[in-house]
Chains A and B, each alone.
Chain A
Amino acid sequence: MIDKAVATPAAAVAGIRDGATVMIGGFGTAGMPSELIDALIDQGARGLTIVNNNAGNADLGLAALLKTKRVRKIICSFPRQTDSYVFDALYRAGEIELELVPQGNLAERIRAAGAGIGAFFTPTGYGTLLAEGKETRVIDGRHYVLEYPIHADYALIKADKGDRWGNLVYRKTARNFGPIMASAAKCTIAQVREVVPLGALDPENIVTPGIFVQRVVAIDSSAARARPQAA
């Protein structure tokens, strides 16, 4: 019997080694797998490359991980926010490398990794600082920039419900990067509000099929959800 459910966040993040590339789902705090990030902090892996849309909010989740100085590099589209002071300080001190990627290129590079695409031409960023030094091509009269996929060793994502085969459904805009990151990582770890019995999820509505998911851990963060959080 295949059972991808694990008992604790610590078991879920076991084995993440130093130097790993780790995708972390979420857009701001919506969909951020905070408890998995806390478990990764306790686990202690260092020299990490993190892929996320942002670079952490306040002192929670991703920001707390950055604060440990175990992140060598972050690949993201929008690091600067009103409460990104942890990242801001590390960046200004030269203690973290930033690869800034237009959000659509970030999403497509992640998607491409999951879909086995070797590289793709995108119009986004052509003629800007973010395409400097990159190969370009004119296709049907339009300018494109060559972009490569982003593969990850691990993806930490948050979904609403999952089952023991790893099928996932999400909640509202907390879905964001979860489904594409799940496909792009060698090992995807999903924290869910509830692990439900096999067959309980409507197969017509499964958003991430279990083939993309290796570990599932139930964490009821509804108590945390009720707490007001900074935008």
Chain B
Amino acid sequence: MKRYSRDQMAARVARDIPEGSYVNLGIGLPTLVANHLPKDRDIFLHSENGLLGMGPAPSPGKEDPDLINAGKQPVTLLEGGAYFHHGDSFAMMRGGHLDFCVLGAFQVSEGGDLANWHTGAPDAIPAVGGAMDLAIGAKKVYVMMDHQTKDGQSKIVARCTYPLTSIACVNRIFTDLAVIDVTSAGLRVVEMADGLTLVELENLTGVPLVMA
């Protein structure tokens, strides 16, 4: 069995984002998706700190501390891009104006509950940012994550054990093993890594799966 690489996962997510989409890419793994969006497709990247039409990182020496993304890294603005304040930015997110968000996750439940902001550990300092707003607000919520934790536990679970970000919000999960849709009839496998059978995937996942 051959796991999908980070870049293959990002390219696979990018394939599911059509031209004309307004998209928010979460901090971490999801930011890789931007590298795989075809240059000839007009896709509008939104950043919670007040920009639409976000472009790639500037060339060295061209960084502007007043032009950053949600991860506080320097970015650029594409021709036709716009700046706005936090009230407008979160109206875009909470008001159902974004077509897609792509988020990382600690866990996703078979019912589409998302846990991605807090481990719940007693000594952890919690930080939530815009995760809860994206989870309730985007028309489609994509999750991009490793299928398993470093010690082999499935991150797709019957019930999340980490504190929730939002209930029943995830539409599609992209992992290094599979692409899985969350549906009212349960989890449906859209694609699997080469050499993997549904039975093997189900054993690694620990919750019922069916082929889409």
Interface residues of A (CB under 8 A from B): 27-31, 53, 77-81, 84, 87-88, 91-92, 100-105, 107-108, 110-111, 122-130, 143, 170-180, 207, 225, 228-229, 231
A122 to B123, CA, bound (A): 29
Task: State whether A79 touches B127 (Cβ < 8 A).
Answer: yes
> Which of A81, A124, A171 has the most chain B CB atoms closer than 10 A to its own CB?
A124
Contact of A122 among B65, B77, B94, B128 (CB under 8 A): B94
Residue of B nearest to A230 (CB): B72
- Chain A residue contacts of B65, Cβ below 8 A: 29-30, 225, 229
Task: Kindly state the separation between the CA atoms of A59 and B28 in the bound complex, as whole angstroms.
Answer: 25
B42, CB-defined interface residue at 8 Å: no
**Interface of B: prevailing SS:** loop
- With the chains together, A108 CA to B86 CA distance in Å? 9
In the bound complex, how far is the Cα of B163 from the Cα of A175, in angstroms? Answer: 32
**Beyond A80-B125, A170-B83: 7 further Cβ-contacts under 8 Å?**
A29-B72, A88-B125, A102-B129, A103-B128, A107-B90, A110-B86, A174-B66
Query: Would A104 and B130 be within 8 Å (CB), given that A27-B72, A177-B85 are in contact?
Result: yes
Task: Please provide the chain B residues from 155 to 210 with a CB less than 8 Å away from any CB of chain A in the complex.
Answer: 163-167
Cβ–Cβ contact A130 & B128, under 8 A? yes
B residues near A (Cβ < 8 Å) are 47-51, 63-68, 71-73, 77, 83-87, 89-90, 93-94, 118, 123, 125-133, 136-137, 163-167
Q: Please, could you name 11 A-B residue pairs with CB atoms under 8 Å apart, sorted by A?
A: A27-B68, A53-B86, A92-B125, A102-B130, A107-B89, A123-B137, A173-B83, A176-B86, A177-B85, A225-B66, A231-B72
Whether the pair A78, B164 counts as a contact (CB closer than 8 A) is: no
Given contacts A30-B66, A173-B49, A173-B68, contact A127 B129 (CB under 8 A): no
- B64: chain A residues at CB < 8 Å are 172
CA distance A180 to B130 in the complex (A): 17
**Do A104 and B166 touch (CB < 8 A)?**
no
User: Which residues from chain B contact A80 at a C-beta distance below 8 Å?
Assistant: 125-127
A207 to B123 alpha-carbon distance, docked (Å): 41
Are B128 and A171 in contact, CB atoms less than 8 angstroms apart? no
What residue of chain A has the Cβ atom nearest to residue B77's Cβ? A172
Complex-state Cα separation, A219 to B90, whole angstroms: 30
Provide the bound-state CA to CA distance between A91 and B122, in Å.
12
Most buried by B among A84, A104, A231: A104
Identify which of B51, B77, B93, B129 contacts A77 (C-beta below 8 A).
B129
Once the chains are docked, how many angstroms separate the CA of A151 from the CA of B149?
42
CA of A174 to CA of B132, assembled, Å? 23
Bound CA span A176–B51, Å: 9
A170 contact set on B, CB distance < 8 A: 83
Contact in complex: B87, A107 (CB < 8 Å) = yes
Interchain CB contact (< 8 A) of B94 among A30, A77, A104? A104
Instruction: Name the CB-closest residue of A to B73.
Output: A231
Residues of A within 8 A of B63 (CB): 228
Closest to A224 in B: B65
Bound form: Cα–Cα A223–B63 in Å: 15
- A178 — which chain B residues lie within 8 A by C-beta? 85
**Cβ–Cβ < 8 Å partners of A123 in chain B:** 94, 136-137
B129 CB, nearest partner CB in chain A, Å: 4
- Is the Cβ of A100 less than 8 Å from the Cβ of B126? yes
- The interface residues of chain B lying within 8 Å CB-to-CB of A84 are 125
Taking a contact as CB atoms closer than 8 A, the residue among A101, A102, A173, A179 that contacts B51 in the complex is A173
